[in-house]
């Protein structure tokens, strides 16, 4: 049952994540917090590995189906995200090295994540009434990537919902292009997060008994989700995004106040 549970978490998170550009980490993190089987560093590693598997499969399908998206913007944000990811992960590792702070960091993460998601949910609901921009300055785009990478890496969420909202607001993308670009950015940010673990702490200190099942779920979810994106309208994708964000807000608030 434990194996089935973790495979299902990886699969459903990756399915919804690849359909809405959320990545999956935004779903995996609060769910693993809820079940409480692993400490924060292990949760971050399991989430990053699953999301990397999902994003790899999704991008393979995107290339196979010849979807067009602005790779130049995605690559600049991805480069910034890698740098910001190193900073955010380094800060996180420094804080959790003090065992007395782990509990408070978990509370802070849940509270900050819930607040960010509420803001994103409200923005997505009313974005048509707000002005959207189209940034072209490469340095500003790079700085946006650094900020996204720092925040998403510290929270251990892969950056999906943040990426999508920023791509709507600052680059005037439609739903499909935002989803694909977000997945492109997530791939590089999660790859850098795992590389940082490899060259600093290594993987020997983590409980990786469930990682293979979660990666398997991530691959399957990414494959199905990416194929569904090509069949869904922009409005349907936005609906999936908003409903998923609402569900994650509820889980985070529950974790914060009751767990």
Angle between helix 175-199 and 40-64 (nearest 10)? 130
**Spatial distance between the Cα atoms of 116 and 135, rounded to a whole number of angstroms:** 22
Series of mean pLDDT values for 10-residue runs along the chain (259 residues): 90 85 76 80 86 86 71 82 81 74 77 85 85 86 87 72 84 82 82 81 83 92 84 83 85 75
- Could you tell me which of 247, 251, 245, 235 has the C-alpha nearest to residue 161? 245
pLDDT at 187: 84
pLDDT at 71: 73
Three-point CA angle 16, 20, 21, nearest 5°: 105
What's the residue count for the chain? 259
Q: What are the DSSP calls for 101-127, one per residue?
A: GHHHHHHHHHHHHHHHHHHHHHHHHHG
Where are the chain's structural domains? 2-258
pLDDT at 69: 64
pLDDT at 66: 66
pLDDT at 236: 85
**Cβ neighbour number for residue 149 with a 10 Å cutoff:** 31
**Spatial distance between the Cα atoms of 236 and 249, rounded to a whole number of angstroms:** 20
């Amino acid at each position: 049952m434990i194996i089935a549970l973790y495979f299902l978490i990886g699969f459903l998170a990756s399915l919804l994540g690849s359909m809405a550009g959320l990545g999956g980490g935004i779903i995996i993190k609060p769910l693993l917090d809820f079940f409480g089987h692993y400490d924060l560093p292990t949760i971050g590693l399991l989430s990053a590995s699953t999301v990397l598997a999902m994003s790899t499969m999704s991008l393979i399908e995107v290339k196979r189906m010849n979807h067009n998206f602005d790779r130049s913007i995605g690559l600049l944000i991805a480069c910034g995200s890698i740098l910001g990811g190193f900073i955010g992960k380094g800060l996180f590792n420094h804080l959790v090295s003090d065992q007395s702070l782990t509990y408070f960091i978990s509370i802070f993460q849940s509270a900050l994540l819930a607040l960010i998601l509420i803001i994103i949910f409200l923005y997505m609901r009313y974005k048509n009434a707000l002005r959207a921009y189209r940034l072209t300055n490469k340095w500003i785009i790079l700085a946006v990537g650094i900020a996204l990478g720092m925040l998403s890496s510290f929270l251990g969420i892969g950056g999906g919902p943040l990426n999508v909202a920023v791509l709507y607001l600052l680059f005037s993308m439609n739903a499909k292009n935002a989803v694909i670009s977000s997945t492109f950015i997530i791939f590089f940010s999660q790859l850098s997060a795992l590389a940082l673990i490899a060259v600093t702490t290594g993987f020997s200190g983590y409980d990786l008994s469930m990682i293979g099942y979660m990666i398997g779920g991530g691959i399957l979810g990414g494959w199905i989700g990416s194929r569904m994106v090509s069949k869904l309208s922009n409005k349907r994708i936005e609906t999936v995004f908003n409903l998923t964000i609402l569900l994650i807000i509820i889980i985070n608030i529950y974790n914060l106040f009751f767990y």
